[in-house]
């Protein structure tokens, strides 16, 4: 019994001599490829623009489109409307849809788009916070064409977690808005 007790004391004392090393907390690093854009033009649709090569296009009827980003588990939903004396109602609906997120959003920043040369006018909304969508936008020529778009992730909204992907997609939306042309 004395031998076992002595062995236990020696083991405890020997193990206390090792210095404790505190490891730093790990941080998630999300790297996305540099955007390479390509012109998207569909014969049936009265517009064209450039999209990121990372996006998969899903064309729906009436020139509605989904730009799917499988690596980010995100989709940009694009909806096209032909203006028929309903511009005011289309603008109201686009703005209303954006501001319905004020319940969860910490702030909503607006960035207008005014391009009289190409007749592209619109608004880009950057929604910060745990809202369902981190970005929404609309563009129009104010005569014939109106496109609205929004980003959704296939996950519960947690802005801190999706922040890098949300910023990446905001750049893609800005590029889309800058390169849209009406046919």
Neighbours of 125 (CB within 10 A): 23
Would residue 43 count as lying in a domain?
Answer: no
pLDDT score of 50:
97
pLDDT score of 15:
61
What are the structure tokens assigned to 29, written together? 């690093």
Please tell me the total count of domains within the chain. 1
pLDDT score of 16:
58
Would residue 15 count as lying in a domain?
Answer: no
pLDDT score of 17:
57
Instruction: Report how far residue 51's alpha carbon sits from residue 179's, in angstroms, rounded to the nearest whole number.
Output: 9
Rounded (5°) CA angle 176-126-68: 50
Instruction: Report how far residue 120's alpha carbon sits from residue 23's, in angstroms, rounded to the nearest whole number.
Output: 53
pLDDT digits (tens, 9 = 90+) for 75-119: 999 999 999 999 999 999 999 999 998 888 999 999 999 999 999
- The enclosing domain of 61 has a CATH number of 3.40.1000
Q: With residue 172 as reference, give the H or E element that holds it.
A: helix 159-179
Would residue 25 count as lying in a domain?
Answer: no
Contact 127, 135 (CB under 8 A): yes
pLDDT score of 102:
82
Low-confidence ranges of the chain (pLDDT < 70): 1, 3, 5-24, 26-29
Would residue 36 count as lying in a domain?
Answer: no
Structural domain of residue 174, as residue ranges? Answer: 52-182
pTM of the model: 0.82
Strand ranges of the sheet holding 47-52, from the earlier edge strand across to the other edge: 37-41, 47-52, 181-182
- Alpha carbon distances (Å) from 177 to 86, 122, 169: 22, 8, 12
pLDDT score of 18:
60
pLDDT score of 104:
87
Would residue 17 count as lying in a domain?
Answer: no
Would residue 151 count as lying in a domain?
Answer: yes
Would residue 120 count as lying in a domain?
Answer: yes
pLDDT score of 19:
66
């Amino acid at each position: 019994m004395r031998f076992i007790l002595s062995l236990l004391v020696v083991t405890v004392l020997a193990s206390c001599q090792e210095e404790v090393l505190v490891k730093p907390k790990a941080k998630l690093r999300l790297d996305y490829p540099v955007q390479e854009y390509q012109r998207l033009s569909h014969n049936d649709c009265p517009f064209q623009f450039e999209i990121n090569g990372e996006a998969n296009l899903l064309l729906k009827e009436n020139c509605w489109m989904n730009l799917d980003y499988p690596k980010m588990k995100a989709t940009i939903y694009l909806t096209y409307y032909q203006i028929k004396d309903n511009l005011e109602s289309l603008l109201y609906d686009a703005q209303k849809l954006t501001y319905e997120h004020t319940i969860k959003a910490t702030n909503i920043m607006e960035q207008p788009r005014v391009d009289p040369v190409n007749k592209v006018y619109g608004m880009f909304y950057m929604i910060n916070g745990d809202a369902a969508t981190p970005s929404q936008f609309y563009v129009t020529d104010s005569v014939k064409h109106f496109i609205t778009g929004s980003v959704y992730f296939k996950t519960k909204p947690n802005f801190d977690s999706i922040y890098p992907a949300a910023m990446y997609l905001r750049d893609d939306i800005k590029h889309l808005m800058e390169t849209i042309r009406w046919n």
